[in-house]
Amino acid sequence: MTLDVSHVSRSFGGVHASQDVTMQIAPGKIVGLIGPNGAGKTTLVNLITGVLRLDSGSVTIDGEDVSTRTIVGVARSGVSRTFQNVRLLHDSTVLENVTLGLARHEKSSVLECILGLPAARRERQAMEAEAMRILDDVGMAAYAHHTASGLAYGHQRRVEIARAIAVRPKYILLDEPVAGMNDVEAAELGELFKSFAQSGIGILLIEHNMRFVNALCSHLYVLNTGKIIAEGSPSEITRNPTVVAAYLGA
């Protein structure tokens, strides 16, 4: 049971954004993806999640090929993500943003919701209660009825992570989740990510903060110009001369 990226490639004109990339994320593990800006890390996340189509290769989730599925189809297969730039519904409340993550599990029809039928109301109340539990887990319950646009940057990050967890994923892809945060804020999120992994969620962590990455990840992949140039434990990667030359020594 793993998320497998197998020999994935994608080009844009003459630019090879991903070149024969192979990697694996196991349940309950935090795997790191590092590399210089422009290496193709976010492009790879977009390929995994169905935002972009593959030119070749495959993505499988627990043995099920999802390579040709839409964004919604991949999400339904158990993958959620956060974004390099926070993407929330800024005019909606924190609670509404997180409840949105639960929407794909909703059983009531649109008509039942519009009519306000008792079953639909009960389901909505249950979803909001679950969203509140998730907000409590990420330390944001006190902000449930605040508008997302009024939150500080670090709090917006937490709300986006809460929404990703509300999807009830098997795997979550975190794209630079602690960018712009101080060490204390990053450490708090690190503990949160550990708790996700302990609950059985597989995590792909894309991050430039190497101290943060080394503290959390059991295995690292290094991407440069769209290619995996090394993989191994954090200690192996930090001693790898190819990685030092391409990224860590910069």
Angle at 213 between CA 238 and CA 9, to 5 degrees: 80
Query: Model pTM?
Result: 0.87
The neighbour count for residue 201, using CB atoms within 10 Å, is 23
CA distance 141 to 138: 8
Q: Give the pLDDT score at 89.
A: 83
Q: Give the pLDDT score at 153.
A: 87
CA distance 196 to 89: 24
Q: Give the pLDDT score at 181.
A: 84
Cα-to-chain-centroid distance, residue 157? 12
Task: List the structure tokens of 35.
Answer: 């590399």
Where along the chain do its domains lie? Answer: 1-78+169-250, 90-162
Q: Give the pLDDT score at 105.
A: 54
CA distance 197 to 29: 6
Task: List the structure tokens of 52.
Answer: 């972009």
Residue 134, helix vs strand vs coil = helix
Q: Give the pLDDT score at 114.
A: 47
Sites in the chain below the pLDDT cut of 70 = 103-123, 249-250
CA distance 188 to 31: 18
* Encoded amino acid at 176, one letter: E
Q: Give the pLDDT score at 144.
A: 93
Residues whose CB is less than 8 angstroms from the CB of residue 82 and which lie 6 or more positions away in sequence, other chains included: 157, 160, 161, 164, 172, 173, 174, 175, 177
Cα–Cα distances in angstroms (integers) from residue 35 to residues 20, 50, 199, 230, 248, in the given order: 16, 22, 28, 10, 8
Q: Give the pLDDT score at 111.
A: 44
Which CATH superfamily includes the segment(s) 1-78+169-250? P-loop containing nucleotide triphosphate hydrolases (3.40.50.300)
Give strand ranges (E) for the chain.
3-12, 15-25, 30-34, 56-61, 64-65, 79-81, 171-175, 202-206, 219-224, 227-232
CA distance 199 to 168: 11
Alpha-carbon dihedral sign for residues 226, 228, 233, 237: negative
